[in-house]
Amino acid sequence: MSEPALSTRSPKRARLCSIENANRVASQVAERMAADTAVVKTGNPLQPFRVVLASRASPARIVTRVVISSNDDEPIPA
């Protein structure tokens, strides 16, 4: 079975497969798990990005990273 061309996929799939959506999910997962996450490239056009724990991400595949600060109450020094 062949994969549908990128241009014939639904707008909903395009939104779900976007880097923006992957970054949003990575932020939510990082907050919920209190752990750093990463968005990695998969090479699969149906799921081009995947959210994983940063500690398990292959550095060559990382697109973006969400880092959780351990001191959210302290101001960031200038």
For residue 57 the two structure tokens come to 């991400």
Give the residue numbers spanning the domain of 27: 10-66
Can you give the pLDDT at residue 1? 47
* Stretch 60-67: mean pLDDT: 96
Can you give the pLDDT at residue 77? 56
Structural domain includes residue 40: yes
Structural domain includes residue 35: yes
d(CA 19, CA 48): 8
Structural domain includes residue 30: yes
* Stretch 41-59: mean pLDDT: 96
Query: Is 80 exceeded by the pLDDT of residue 47?
Result: yes
Q: Cβ(48)–Cβ(41) under 8 Å?
A: yes
Cα torsion 31, 33, 36, 42 to 10°: value is: -100
Can you give the pLDDT at residue 8? 74
